[in-house]
Structures are given as structure tokens and as C-alpha cells.
Chain A
Amino acid sequence: MVVRAVVLLLISLFPGFLLAQAVVLNGIVLDRNGEALVSAHVFISPDSITIPSDSEGRFSAAIKPGQKLVRVSFVGLEDFERKINVNGDTTIQVLLIAKTSQLQEVVITAKKNLQEEVFNSNRTSTYVLSQDDITALPVLGGEADVIKVIQLLPGTVRGVEGSSDLFVRGGAADQNLVLLDEVPIYNTSHMLGFLSVFNPDILSKVEAINGGFPAEYGGRLSSILKVQTRDAIPDQTHMSGDVGIIASRLFIEQPLVKNKASVWLAGRRTYIDQVVKTIGEELPYFFYDLNGKLTFQPSENDRISLSYYSGEDVLNLFRDRNGDGNGFLTRYESGNNSQSLQWQHKLSMRWTSQLSIIRSQYQYNILNAFEENELLALSDIEDIGARWNVQRDSIGGKNGVFKSGMEWTQHRISPNVINTEGTISELLESSSTSRRIAQEFSLHGQYEWSLSNRFRMNTGIRMSMASVSNRTYVNPEPRIFVRYKLTDQQALKFSYSRMVQYLHRIANSAVTSPADIWYPVTETIAPQTSNQVALAWQRSDERHNLFLSLEGYYKSMNHLIGYEEGTNLFLNNDFESRLIQGKGTAYGLEFLLRKESGKLTGWISYTLSWSNRQFDEVNRGEWFPSRYDRRHNGAIVAQYALSKRLAVSAVWEFISGARFTPVIGQYAIFAPTLTGVDLVPIYSGINQVKLANTHRLDVGIKFRSRPDKKFQWHWFAGVYNGYNRANPIGITIEQDEDGTLRYEQPGLFGLLPFISYGFKF
């Protein structure tokens, strides 16, 4: 305003000269929802004029005629830059779009006030996190972990304590598609779920879509977790690291060609094995992650990036009690390996294209050997694929945005190979499940436009197809989102999505493990499907920086995967004959109150939900609660900046107990040899018993270096499960010294302190 006033003043002082020479450039800055962007930064060169947009998103500047470069920027949105010829008074409209194709939902970024973007979008099921939120929270072992933080948001329930499984809106753990730079990652955890595979140093943005799925996404019923790594080209070398008690990590980014090319590398490894060695003990386990990315921007219209990820868990244990060289060897190795090539191209003023070529592999092998006995189990899944999307903004005269694209993935799966040698082969014969190849293909299109000043709508369709030997499945997946603006601060949103899943994980219903097998649809196993509707009311209070959301959802699922009663999946290659398919429903209410800036930041989340299943072959065909039907799920997450250098954080989480099927009785029948009686267990109804409720308090304190220092460091210390409460994982029967038997619910982790040191420069 001041600058504008000065410009006007100058014009008035030199009326004759300037009026003969100046023209006026007017403009309006909007986001793609058609909402005016206040205080957008407008820079006009070569006149070197900098002005902000006003409360209606408008700007105006008197400039000399000629060719101008207009650059407009706004926090959280893609910068706009255009060359225009201004020979007379000119009016332009600037439409700023989101920084990547279609975001919102859970976004991790260093910027505040991102809930504004969520509020302004027309999709439901949207949550936003900042990078500081991820690294500030005292999670298990002190390792910053994306998935552990996501588990604190509404609608997402965790499984066994410490696990990285996500159960989103009543779905199963394998119903979440996790993408790392567009590449599917099949095993998202280290140390049996203790830690996720995502190094927080490499993250640019993480989006978790729990409902209201855009048409470009599919393949899983319950959520899409899109992890995008850093892709900005830095202007100088940066390095950062973190040393903790679980693992340490190092990140280096280096420009190669100024503003054109750069590379970054990140590594993380646990060194518990090395540290324990120094005190003369042995812990033959370690994990590592290695990430890398090469970014190249050959022109202003093109951006190419090549990403790489490799991570592994290795356990190598040899026990030779007698010292005679004949020991017992246990070796476990599992890991992901992925690569992606992405090319973003601006085809013309309004068209953009994104092409991705991907490869992902997950494999594990387990070896147990003793003398001549050997048991080896292997499994492997490898994807190769490509995805191409195009987008056109400002189409149709109603701020319309059109997106379309296609996607192809080939899955090559060796589900399970078991090799046995020696005497153990008498007990367990070698076997293998035949290798499978499945092709998945999809086409999608969606159009978003404003019906009126208050109504904005997005309709789309995704046609997906999977082809396995002798069978092809084709499924339409319609998508609809509607946003109605009640006031500038309040909005109602509605969404409907149909999702189809062609790949599933063979896992015990109680606990998942890295040794679980991925398996495609077959001639007899149909794809799983879901239909979900959601209705949300949202309020954004900019003055107090508060965001409030209340959302209800209903999801019905079909052809869900289950197993016949008594199925034991451990080293069982006959699992396909034991697979059954059934139905599920899930519904609930989600609440979120979030404050993003100020000394006190954080959120309160609460979910009230139900989740049920029905299979004809189990529980006499009656409906029963799903394993993770956890009625109440809430969290209070808070960070308080005591000063510029000192901050404290706390997480208090409460979740209703998971469901369980304990042994409640037994009976005796003749042993087959008539030399005694066998005791046969009697189980309760499926998931009839609820475990004890889980609640836990984690606290942390972070002390940083002075903000003006080039070399930045911090210490972060705290405690997980501060009041040492057991978070039950099941029900067992224990015997006291006097022989009395009793039930109890053991927990996994008690009070765990942590401390870490981080740096960056």
C-alpha cells in the first residue's frame, strides 16, 4: 500500500511527463478455486516494482510501456512468471496453483498456515502437518517418524504398539498404497515395525489421502500415502545429520549446475550392533536406508528427477554353545529397492504433463541351519510401471481444471518358496507357490469447476483393469467432490469414491510381519472393492490461526480377504485354498482442532468409529467386529516454544482396546493312540473380547543453537510412555507359583527414554 501510494505520488508530481509515458498494469491474483489471494507478492521487472495484492487479490502499477516480466508468488503455491508486452493499460489474471499436482490431505512442509490450503480445497479427509511437527514430537525411541505422527491424526488407528501398520477408516493394513516419489513401497518398516523406512531428512511433502480420492489414485481401498522427497535445486552445499540411540543419519545436498542441476544423498543406519560390541556383547542385527536424488532442470518448462532408495534389515545370528563349530545359524534379510524417473513438462501456457517410470522390489529370505538341517524361505515382489498425467488449468471459463492420465504396472510375484534339507524335511517338505505375473492398467479423467461463487465441484472417473492368467477384471471407479462455501470461514464438503484393489497381503488377522506375502487376484480371488462417502464441516479462523474440522464417513467393502478358521499361515504354501472373501462396513465421526502458529502449536484429534466384517465360512456367517475395531481414538499433541532456543512437546494418546479371540475353555478327547487324552482349545466368538484401553504420555524437550549461527545444532531428549503403562498386544494364560492359572494382557514397551543430537549447515 505504501509503495502504491508512493507510486501515485510520483505520478502526481510529474504529471505531464509521466502521463505521457506511463501505462497501468492491473491484475488480480486467484488460487485455482477462484479465491482471491491477499498479499501475494507481485514483482515487475525491469521496472523493479514490488507490490502486494490487496484484500480482493488485486494489484495495480503504473509502468513504462514495453516488454515486462511479471512474477507473482504466494506461500505454499507455485510461483507464477510470465513475459508480457504492455503497450497500453492492461489487465491480467494470475492463477496460482498448488506446488504439486494435487495435494492437500496430510502435507508435511516447513510452512505454516497450510490448513488454509486444506480449507480452500474441495476435498474431504484432509490433514496437514509441518516438518517441524514431525521432528518435534517425542515418538518411540526418539526417531522422527512420519508414520508414527500420522497415527495421531483422526481416522487412522495403529495396530500392535510400536508397529508401523495403518488401519484407516476400518480398513486393513494392506489397504494403504505407500508411494515414495511415485514408487510403491511394499514394506514400510524396520525392526518389525518399530521404525518406518522414511528418513525424515529427505522429505519434502507427505500426503495421506483417507477419503475423497482424486481419480488419478487407485489400487488400494483405504488410503494413499504419497511421500515426496526434496526436489528444490539448492544454491549451495548443505549438510545435516542426527545422532540418536537407535540410529544415526546424514544428509548432503550439492548443486551441480547453478539453478539447473543438483544431487542429494541421505543415509541412515542403526549402530546398536556396533555399540553393543564395545561392551563385549553381540547383537547381530542392523538396518539401513540409502536415498538419493538427481534433479535436472534443463529449461523453465522441464524438470527431470531420478530417485533411488535402498533399505534392508539384516539379522545374522550364529550360536555355538559347545564351541565345536556345529552351531545354529539364523539369518533374516528383508529389504526394499526402488527407482523412479520423473519428467515434468509445461506443454503450453496452461498445459502441464508429468511422466513417471518406476521400479520397486521387496524381498526377504529367512534361513535356519543346524548341522545338515536347513530351512530357507524366500519371497519376492517386483513392480515395473509407468504413469502419465496431463493437466489443463483455467478451462471452461469457470476456473476449471482438467486432469487426465493413464497408468500401467506389472507385478512379478514369487509369493513363497520353502526349501528344506536334512531331517527337518521329514517334518516340512520343500514347496513353493507358483510365480505370478499380474498386469494393472488404468485410465482416468477429472474436471473441477465452480458452479457458482459458493459451489465448487470435481467429478472424475477412473477405469482400472487387472489381467492375470485366464482372467481379466475391469472396474469403473467414479469420484465426486463438492465444496459449498457457507461463509469465508466455513465450508461444507462432500465426497464419494469407489476404490478397487488388485493386490493383497497374506497376513495373520492379528499381526502383520515383514515375512508376509503379497499376492495378486486370481481366477478365483476377485478384487476387493469399497464405496465411501464423507461429509465434512470445516472452519478456518485466520485471526487465531485455528482450524476446526468435523467429518463423518461411511464405507462399505466387498470381497475382503480372510482365511478359514484355524488357518496357520506360517510356512504354509497352501494358503490360496484357505482364502475366503467377505464383506465389511466402517463408519465414524472424526474431529480435529489444530493450531499451527504461535508459541503453542499442535492439535487435538478424536475419532469415534465402528468396523465390522462378515464371512460366510467363519463365525457361522454372522457379522463380527474387525480386529482393530477400536471405538475411541484420540490424541492431544502440543509443542510449546519457551524461547527461541527451547521448546517442549508432549503427546497424550488414548485408544480403545483392540479386539481379540482368546482361548476361553478346553475339552479332552482320546489321543489317536489311546495312550492319553488331548486337550482341545475352545475359543470365544471372533474378536468378541476387547483388550484393555491403551493410553500413553510421551514428553520431550528440544534445545537449539542460536538461530543466527551458520552451524545449527540441537539436543532432543525425552521419554516415551512416561507413566509406564502396558499397551496390550494380546491375552495370554500364565501360571503362578502355586499352579493357579490366570489371564493377563502383556504390553511390549514400557518407559523408554531417548536422546539425540542433530546438526545442519
Chain B
Amino acid sequence: MSSPDCSDCFHSSVTDLNSDLVKRNVTYLLIPLLALLAACLPDPLEVKGIPEVKPQIVVSSQIIPDQSLVVLLTKSFGALDASGDSDPEELLASITLNDALVVVTGPFGSDTLQLLDNGFYGGVTIPFVAGEEYHLFVNSASLGEVTATTMVKPRVSFAEIQADLFLNGYGDTLAQITYELKDPAGPNRYMLNVQEVEREDVVENLLNPRAFTRLVEDTEFDGESFGESFRVFPRDYAPGDTVAVSLSNISEEYYQFMKLRQDNRYSFIEYLSEPVNYPSNIVNGKGYFNLYIPDVRFFVLE
């Protein structure tokens, strides 16, 4: 029987039926799909057979601008002993070496460094001469002996330097560094670092402080003046922030070491990059014996 209302009823009932059918079919399909999407994730498995790391002496050195040499002696440790989230002071306290004899020998004789604090040795003014070789000898009662040799690179300072804030128009405020240097003849490699300087941040970020590092090789401007401008990415800065900008003329070995470290900064998933045993100029140990004198400038960004 049809009536003006019945045809609408029929239409709506058919529509309802189709709608019910569709919903049922989709539901039948969804059930296994949701089961698939929510499938049990298996528990990870234990790891066996990881070789143990034998602790070795690690050397790290730096000439601070007043020409004093500071050497940090620590020991290598296991991957499970600490991470980037560990308490930095506790970690350093557990790995520093305080039982070592540290001797630096140069063209003017040998100097024995004093233990200043946890693992830090220095306190002696050594006349570092560019182009001369210096030898490091370390003897630790607990970990044995290591040696290293390096040459002092000539100090290269900023001829011009300026640090400003750069607004990109989208709410980012970057630090922009513009500088110029005079490159000595012969192959040279430079490391520029930009680090914001705030007392609390220094303590909190003692481990992996993520300084911005830029590496430059003088193949295109050997013996000439060179200038460029770059922005410190991806950090945001604000007016009033203080930054330390340093320029260092570094050895080829250390340049390759830093380049390798930089190349792996995108290794967001550890097992997707090629593993690397970083090079070292420490014989029987790890780390680097460096003798370069940085030119450090401080700026308050405005």
C-alpha cells in the first residue's frame, strides 16, 4: 500500500537498512583491523654477550686564554654506567683520575702539572710556541701509562667580529655572527663555537652542553683574509642574552674528529648510522691532547 507518507517511509527504511548493512560490514572489517592495530607488542628480549669495556685513561686538554694549560684526566666507563641525564657532578666524581703523574715536555724542558681539583691538572704556565711539538706523559697508579704528541697551532684571532639578533619574521630569534680572519699561509683548520653563557645553564648542561660548532677549512682562502656570516641554529635567543664566541686554529686530526662528531649529530636512531670508533692521538688511551689557543669574545645580544 502506498501513500504519500509510505513512499517516504519506504525510502527512509531502505536507507536505514543500507546504513545498517554498511555499518555492520564496516564493523566486521573493523574488528580484525582494530585487533591488528592493537596487536600485542612482544616484550623485549634480554641481551647477552655484550663485551665489557676495559677502563682506559681519557685525556682532554685545553689552553685557556691566559696561556695556562688544563688537562682533564678521566677513565672510560660502561654504556650502562651513565647517560646524558645522569647527574654531571656525580658522574665526573666517579670517573676522574686523581692519582696520575702528568708531565708535559716541550722545547724548553718538562713541566709537571699539579692536581687542581677532581681530575683537573694544571697550575703551571708553559710557554707554548707555535709550530713546536709537545709531548704528554701520564702515569696513573690505577690505570697505567699513556702518552701523546701534538704541535701547537699558531693562534688566529678574529680580525672583525659582530654578534646580533636575527628575527626571521616567524617568531624565531637567532644569533647571527659576522666575522673576519686573516689566514696564515699553509693548511689551517678552524673551529668556531657559540655558547650562551648563563650560570645555571652551565651547571645543568655540564654533560653534552651542545655548543654550536662550525668547522671551516682554508682550502679556498689559503693565506688570505676570509669573512662570512652565519646564524646559530636552531637555538632561540632573546635580547640581553650573553654568548661566548670562540675561534680556534686546530690540528688536522682534531678537525677530522670534530667533523666525525658533527656528521653523526643526525643519528636519531642509533643503529641507523655506521658505527665509529672515534680517532684519538692518545697512545694506549682515549681522548685528545690539544694545544690550540682560542680567541674568545663575549657579546650581549641586543
Contacts and interface: CB of A to CB of B under 8 A. Distances in A.
A679 B264 CA distance: 13
Interface string A447-482: 000000000000000000000000000000000000
Nearest to A372: B170
A162 to B, nearest CB: 12
Contacts of A564: 274
B77 A675 contact: no
B106 to A, nearest CB: 21
Interface in A167-191: none
B29 to A, nearest CB: 6
B50 A662 contact: yes
Interface stretch (A52-60, A208-216, A503-511): A503-511
Interface of A: 141, 245-246, 272, 275, 278-279, 371-372, 422-424, 426-427, 508-511, 563-572, 660-686, 688-690, 692, 721, 724-735, 739-747, 749-755
B272 A675 contact: no
B76 interface: yes
A665 B273 contact: no
Contact of A677 (B36, B60, B231): B60
Contacts of B263: 566-568, 572
A754 B50 contact: no
Q: Which 4 A-B pairs have the closest CB atoms?
A: A566-B276, A665-B53, A676-B209, A743-B47
A743 B191 CA distance: 35
A275 B172 CA distance: 39
Contacts, number: 266
A732 B86 CA distance: 17
B231 to A, nearest CB: 5
A749 B205 CA distance: 37
A676 B276 contact: no
A73 B25 CA distance: 47
Given A423-B233, A672-B193, A678-B208, A570 B84 contact: no
Nearest to B287: A669
A675 B174 contact: no
Contacts of A371: 170
B233 A426 contact: yes
User: Interface centre among B45, B77, B264, by most A CB within 10 Å?
Assistant: B45
B107 to A, nearest CB: 25
User: Interface centre among B26, B42, B53, B288, by most A CB within 10 Å?
Assistant: B42
B207 A677 contact: yes
A675 B61 CA distance: 13
B50 A743 contact: yes
A746 B42 CA distance: 8
Contacts of A667: 56, 58, 74-77, 286-287
B39 interface: yes
Contact of A245 (B36, B47, B84, B264): B36
Given A692-B45, A744-B45, A751-B40, 11 more contacts: A272-B33, A566-B264, A672-B211, A675-B205, A721-B42, A724-B42, A726-B42, A731-B271, A733-B79, A741-B83, A754-B36
User: Interface centre among B61, B174, B211, by most A CB within 10 Å?
Assistant: B211
A423 B174 contact: yes
Contacts of B276: 565-566, 683
Nearest to B288: A669
Nearest to B244: A673
A735 B51 CA distance: 20
Nearest to B197: A675
B116 to A, nearest CB: 14
Contacts of B231: 423, 426
